[in-house]
Structure 1
């Protein structure tokens, strides 16, 4: 599959504290480096400590401010520890980006285990609820803030054998809209970005799993996925980042409760 180079939106987050979850690779990694490059004090969390330390060094070597926190966000206790650290050391959060997510089981419903279902919802949806609940008081005290949830095309267009993942991402859209309504009077905006077929390791893993589940070659699934885009291209991680930067910035101060597709045309509604 192919993708094109995409420049990152030049926007400033000087003086802002930004918290990004799921930052050890892929979209989350680019989100962390981009917010830091835009001047934010950027805190990013993930399970993989070696990758976090590499990312910390990369951000520091570029002259920016970034800190990695090791946390398994599928565990409520780890989410709480992450939030306690951010509030203790930085006084609160101006921007929260909920990016953490797992693919979950790829199987018929009758073969989907309860453990797989519960893990998917815990990581993809419950962690979002807990993180938002934890940052809202500091955002209210600061006079407002921005929350951007990174969802998926599956939040609108479900695929067979992805029941737990689709449920978690559809739930994210419902949570986004509800909290936009609830938190708007406090100056807190809540939006959702829906990616599809983003170039990188995670999509490669999902395509391989789908190929295995269907009993077909990986390249056949790749071709099927690419054919769904009228642009015949994968989405660059930077395209997701640009939408997120915009939604988190003052340029989008009149946007809330939105779910925005960044799918190279795979989804048009």
Structure 2
């Protein structure tokens, strides 16, 4: 029988701030036993002070040793695992292909893609030992569209969908479900940084870029972290026990991620 969230042991990566922290806090409040990791030691310390019931760890998901240590600690502290939420990720550079620094490309791939691979690889034996479970990858609307000036980010988010569907096929017979949640632009400091970087790259005002982002969706809106949390709770719940291999968008219906068009000056 599928478990309720209050009966679960859940790991959330990249969760000392932002969307991950909202997810971890909500799942803990529902009675789940939660463990998080994050590479930012100061944020982990601050999160720990406010969340005594959540096991916290400093670690980089792109570092295999850190990942192995984290899941070893999860086993020791929680006694097993019922769900993994691969939330850790970075925005990567905002620039065109010719000016893209290869080191920045590698870092984005390493965190966003290698991190999900390494964490899922460690989680699978633990989920199997629990009689099944769930992996949720946090994708993006960039998982479905080209995203100008965001080559590395777009590549990783497309790849996550491929991994989601592949792992769902590999482990479905063991009652392990794998899904992806693909948010649009999420209200908060991160999207503001992305908008400001793109405005700098295009030599225009951030308000122009923000308006263009809003106009990419039918509902002309950004989403809130709580809406992502709602989908996480659904996918972890017994009512979703037959849902696997899906990439579910929460984005106000993205029509395209076309380029911001800056009017040219008359020559």
Say whether residues 1:205 and 2:184 are aligned partners. Answer: no
Pairwise mapping of residues 113-152 of structure 1 onto structure 2 (< 5 A)? 113-152=101-140
Asked if 2 retains the 8 angstrom alpha-carbon contact of 1:73 and 1:79, the reply is yes
Match in the other structure for 2:68: 80
Q: Distance in 1 between matches of 2:19 and 2:29?
A: 15
Pairwise mapping of residues 3-82 of structure 1 onto structure 2 (< 5 A)? 12-60=4-52, 65-82=53-70
Pairwise mapping of residues 144-223 of structure 1 onto structure 2 (< 5 A)? 144-223=132-211
Indicate how the Cα distance of structure 1 residues 191 and 267 shifts in structure 2: closer, same or farther if over 3 A, else same. farther
Match in the other structure for 1:230: 218
Shift of 1:233: 1.9
Q: Distance in 1 between matches of 2:234 and 2:146?
A: 27
2:6 alignment partner, SS class: coil
Asked if 2 retains the 8 angstrom alpha-carbon contact of 1:145 and 1:188, the reply is yes
- TM-score, L = length of structure 1: 0.90
Of the two, which has the highest radius of gyration? 2
Q: Distance in 1 between matches of 2:131 and 2:157?
A: 29
Q: Distance in 1 between matches of 2:23 and 2:139?
A: 14
Higher-RCO chain (CA-CA 8 Å, sequence separation at least 6): 1
Count of paired positions: 254
2:76 alignment partner, SS class: helix
Q: Distance in 1 between matches of 2:197 and 2:117?
A: 28
Match in the other structure for 1:5: none
Shift of 1:267: 4.7
Shift of 1:87: 1.8
**Gaps (5+ residues) in structure 1?**
1-10
Aligned with residue 229 of structure 2, among 226, 237, 241: 241
